[in-house]
Structure 1
Amino acid sequence: MEGLLDARLRAEVTRIAHYDWCVTEFVRVTDGVLPPRSYQRVAPELLNGARTEGGVPVRVQLLGSDPQQLAANADQLARLEPAGIDLNFGCPAPTVNRHRGGAVLLDEPELLHDIVSAVGRAVAGRVPFTAKMRLGVRDTSRAIEAAQALAEGGADMIVVHARTKLDGYKPPAHWPWIARIAEAVRVPVVANGEIWSADDYLRCRSESGLRDVMLGRGAVADPLLATRIRARLAGEDEGDPAGDWPRIAPALTGYWRRVLAHVEARHAAGRVKQWLNLLRRTYPQAETLYQALRPVRDNTTVERMLMAAVAEACAQAPG
């Protein structure tokens, strides 16, 4: 999730709830082997045993189209001992696709096979090796062929975002297509796309036939989403977003401090507003805070308002 779920936000989200593992933003591979610092910049968790502060393993994602360059960089990356390496064949961004990266490669199953085979040989079982794809570029006509190319090339697992590149992020996600892909390959498949609630998870599970899902924007909009899903499956109370706000609000100030330490001051307010913009889908208190902060540009004022909101949330917490 380029430009959104970076190491700073990963740290906060994975302190709130447990995830089996998470994936970084992509590292673009073009010419030459990147130095270790390039990977550590995107995944500072590599300096902490490839885990977030909340203890969640971190896999690093590569994006590119040259099999040999990707293989050489995967070899370099594996030496840094990430929790896994993921290949990005899902990004729909025009700037990425114009440079033959991301979802546009789904029209070239032979190239997908060559990339995955080369990377698989370079990694040689040292770390888990996964790939993420969409259903195609303009349509789903080559979805099965693309997935089989990834599986036969040697990917250990395939994550399927159930939309085409042309679909972007427009609802709906076509979960039944994931079931077709899962039937056509011999490696585990994980469902992804348009899962914002426990109800969405259950519908996705019913339509895809898969228990395992990857949460994207849904986990940013509700950091407790994985917890709610597990509670629903266990027949337990999954909680109420309004009542859960005291668990979420302190992470805003934690995130704010991380942003101030690593992002240019003029961009800091925008980053916290970006998170709030998604949080307000789930939490009514986030909507109120977002509207109050929206016109504010001064960082001192932003911090004061965040601190006040957190103090109010904590004061209203039970017990």
Structure 2
Amino acid sequence: MRIVLAPLEGVMDHTVRELLTGLGGYDLCITEFLRVSNNQLLPPRTFYQLAPELENNGFTPSGVPVRMQLLGSQPNTLAMNAQRAIELGSHGIDLNLGCPAKTVNKSKGGATLLKEPQLISDAVTAMRAVVPNDKTLSVKIRLGWDDPSCVHEIVDAIVQAGADEITIHARTKEDGYKADAIKWHYIAQVKERLAREDKHFSIIANGEIWTLADAINCRKVSSCDDLMIGRGALATPNLAAVIAGISDKMSWQGVVEMILNYRKVQVIGSKGHHYSSRAKQWLSQMRQSYPEANELFMPIRRIKKSDDMQVAIEGYLEALVTNKVSEWQRSLES
């Protein structure tokens, strides 16, 4: 079983990919989406900005392959940019048909294409024509726009157009990210139907995988081949290694040390000024997995400057080691 790091837009940039894959367990990363439109072939620098790993033969520093994700609705435009990504060293191409963001959907991108299976087929066919057979062409979808039974028609369009694998986020677009709306059993239905038709096709399951128990349950219910984790990877940074049996869940002190290391990686990647907002964003997710995250998050939630954030977290780490967290909290409140 492979474990894939999800392409969370605005979160999983190359600095996060570097940190998370360095903890082990991942077999593949999918980048945030690169939007393509208006029959425009984007310049190489745009690809390198999104995926600096292309300058390392398409691998993260720890050796995990990176696959570029494209978002758009024009088959020819998707094809020409897919070809360029492959030429620059991407380990295959992924097509985003799952993004539920309103701004993306209004411009006919992401999940809105789920309502147009023929357009999906045209797009995948055009991309397959330029992506060599030895390079994986994958598609990330949801179960449908508002009706999960539509997943079968969507999958058929993708399979018949020549894609190699599909990641299914087991909710519809209208479901958003509601935990109780997860429908892993629909993935099992897709697998069973393809098997009856003698179509052997790789399916990656995505959605609501926060723990090892979730991963085991998802595989049992969905009959998937592989797993993709996204928000769960933010909540527990070494979740992939836990699922893979490589290590136990990180200690809270280890997590705080990693958050500080994140600043160093961001500065090297010329994104140090984003550290404050990203640290708060990350800690907010971690509260689901680490109760201690709240005692750090609450006192620093109003800090805006990245240098101030680094100093505050360094102070917290020292207080954590010396059992003086209460004193550190009072010092920030005063």
Global fold match (TM > 0.5): yes
Aligned-partner Cα distance in 2 for 1:91–1:296: 30
* 2:64 match: 56
Whether the aligned pair in 1 keeps the contact of 2:208 and 2:232 (CA below 8 Å) is yes
Whether the aligned pair in 1 keeps the contact of 2:263 and 2:272 (CA below 8 Å) is no
- TM-aligned CA deviation for residue 46 of structure 1: 0.6
* 1:218 match: 232
* 1:116 match: 124
* 1:198 match: 212
* 1:180 match: 189
- TM-aligned CA deviation for residue 211 of structure 1: 4.5
- TM-aligned CA deviation for residue 126 of structure 1: 4.7
2:256 maps to which of 249, 274, 287: 249
Counterpart residue identity of residue 20, structure 1 = D
Q: Does 1:76 align with 2:84?
A: yes
- TM-aligned CA deviation for residue 116 of structure 1: 0.5
2:21 maps to which of 11, 14, 18: 14
Q: Does 1:136 align with 2:144?
A: yes
Counterpart residue identity of residue 192, structure 2 = E
4+ runs deviating over 6 angstroms: none
- TM-aligned CA deviation for residue 285 of structure 1: 3.0
- 3-state SS of 1:284 partner: coil
- 3-state SS of 1:292 partner: helix
- TM-aligned CA deviation for residue 194 of structure 1: 0.6
1:239 maps to which of 248, 269, 277: 248
Sequence identity (%):
40
- TM-aligned CA deviation for residue 51 of structure 1: 1.1
- TM-aligned CA deviation for residue 312 of structure 1: 5.3
* 2:279 match: 272
Paired residues, number: 308
Counterpart residue identity of residue 222, structure 1 = T
Aligned-partner Cα distance in 2 for 1:60–1:240: 29
Whether the aligned pair in 1 keeps the contact of 2:210 and 2:233 (CA below 8 Å) is yes
Counterpart residue identity of residue 178, structure 1 = I
Aligned-partner Cα distance in 1 for 2:158–2:225: 21
Aligned-partner Cα distance in 1 for 2:29–2:21: 9
* 1:229 match: 243
Aligned-partner Cα distance in 2 for 1:230–1:12: 17
Counterpart residue identity of residue 287, structure 2 = R
Aligned-partner Cα distance in 1 for 2:317–2:92: 35
1:171 maps to which of 159, 166, 179: 179
Aligned-partner Cα distance in 1 for 2:300–2:264: 16
CA spacing shift, 1:60–1:240, aligned 2, 3 Å: closer
* 1:30 match: 37
Structure 2: 5+ residue stretches without partners: 1-7, 324-334
Counterpart residue identity of residue 69, structure 2 = Q
* 1:289 match: 296
- TM-aligned CA deviation for residue 49 of structure 1: 1.5
Aligned-partner Cα distance in 2 for 1:215–1:94: 23
Whether the aligned pair in 2 keeps the contact of 1:62 and 1:70 (CA below 8 Å) is yes
Deviations 1:247-271 (A, max 9, x none): 3222211212333453373x43111
Select between 32-41 and 294-303 the one with higher mean Cα deviation.
Answer: 294-303
Whether the aligned pair in 2 keeps the contact of 1:17 and 1:223 (CA below 8 Å) is no
Aligned-partner Cα distance in 1 for 2:31–2:21: 13
1:148 maps to which of 141, 144, 156: 156
Whether the aligned pair in 2 keeps the contact of 1:148 and 1:184 (CA below 8 Å) is no
Aligned-partner Cα distance in 2 for 1:69–1:107: 20
Aligned-partner Cα distance in 2 for 1:279–1:163: 23
Aligned-partner Cα distance in 2 for 1:314–1:214: 34
- TM-aligned CA deviation for residue 204 of structure 1: 1.0
Whether the aligned pair in 2 keeps the contact of 1:249 and 1:313 (CA below 8 Å) is no
Whether the aligned pair in 1 keeps the contact of 2:25 and 2:244 (CA below 8 Å) is no
Whether the aligned pair in 2 keeps the contact of 1:16 and 1:248 (CA below 8 Å) is no
Aligned-partner Cα distance in 1 for 2:111–2:192: 22
- 3-state SS of 1:142 partner: helix
Deviations 1:205-239 (A, max 9, x none): 121112511111111111121122223xxxx9x63
* 2:48 match: 40
- What's the RMSD between the two structures over aligned residues? 1.9
CA spacing shift, 1:313–1:19, aligned 2, 3 Å: farther
Select between 7-16 and 91-100 the one with higher mean Cα deviation.
Answer: 7-16
* 2:12 match: 5
